[in-house]
Amino acid sequence: MHALAPRPDHHLEERQDLAAAFRWAARLNLHEAVANHFSLAIDENGRRFLMNPDQRHFSLIQASDLLLLDVDDPQTMERSDAPDITAWGLHAMVHRHCPHARCVMHLHPMFSTVLASLADSTLPPIDQNTATFFERVIVDDAFGGLATEAEGERCARLLHDPRYKVMLMGNHGVLVLGDSVADTFNRLYYFERAAETYIRALQTGRALRVLDASIAENTAREIEAYPGQAKRHFNDLKAILDKEGSDYGQ
């Protein structure tokens, strides 16, 4: 399907999946200029990972552009192709401290960031999408500035419990974890949709119809057990790119 030769050190499938996620994040306007970062672990302990290159627009990223990094390499930031300092600070620390975080997506999408800017950043269960994340979001209220290694390590330590796969970064944006690119992108997509529903509901100025906690929890569990949706969603996103002749996989 794509021209890149499948050498073992290329991690071809992983590269193509991550590149497709960048393209769709740009198409859905979830990105921010040439900032924000996605990463994907490619070894068992999660310490070697792929990540986007420094200051490159998501809509241009190809599979072959992705950097292969190692959290244990002290020379990373001295490389000629060194990653963005905040990308390294946040993603390397998450992969170092959270081996369960196979894929990490950090963005500043509009509605998630609006939610992160409220004094109370709780996402109440007012529909099916918001209920998906019922009591499953960590809210970080200790923003410390740009994600240098110290700030990245502080954030990573909040993610030690594998049950929590979304962190709303107060005054900053959102960080989403997953088992694969498909799993993570699907979760990111629905979290932003859920945040949009809530913010737009607030804008009406009318009282919210909040689900009972037991119904919200049951809904979240049912969605977690729903078979195959993330993979099917992402496979179709790649199929659309392929049909359009996109070069993401090169």
Task: Write the CA distances from 234 to 61, 86, 184, 188, 240, integer angstroms.
Answer: 17, 27, 10, 12, 10
Query: Looking at the domain assignment, is residue 250 inside a domain?
Result: no
Task: Kindly tell me the sign of the dihedral angle through the C-alpha atoms of 193, 188, 58, 246.
Answer: negative
Whether 139 and 78 have beta carbons less than 8 Å apart is answered as no
User: Angle CA(52)–CA(179)–CA(25) in degrees, nearest 5?
Assistant: 40
Residue 138 in any domain: the answer is yes
Looking at the domain assignment, is residue 236 inside a domain? yes
Phi, then psi, of 160 in degrees rounded to 5: -70, -25
Around 77, how many Cα atoms within 13 Å sit in the side-chain half-sphere? Answer: 10
Q: How many Cα atoms occupy the beta-carbon half-sphere of 24 within 13 Å?
A: 25
The CATH number of the domain holding residue 52 is 3.40.225.10
Global pTM value: 0.93
Is 146 within the bounds of a domain?
yes
Residue 109 falls within a domain, yes or no? Answer: yes
Kindly state whether residue 96 falls inside one of the protein's structural domains: yes
Tens of pLDDT along the chain (250 residues) come to: 333 444 445 799 999 999 999 999 999 999 999 999 999 999 989 999 999 999 999 999 999 999 999 999 999 999 999 999 999 999 999 999 999 999 999 999 999 999 999 999 999 999 999 999 999 999 999 998 887 888 999 999 999 999 999 999 999 999 999 999 999 999 999 999 999 999 999 999 999 999 999 999 999 999 999 889 999 999 999 999 999 999 999 9
Q: What is the pLDDT of residue 154?
A: 93
Q: Please choose, from the candidates 164, 163, 167, 165, the residue with its C-alpha nearest in 3D space to the C-alpha of residue 155.
A: 167
Tokens (6 digits) for 230: 């993330």
**How many beta carbons lie within 10 A of that of residue 213, not counting itself?**
12
Domain assignment of residue 97, yes or no: yes
Tally of domains in the chain: 1
Range of the domain at 171: 8-243
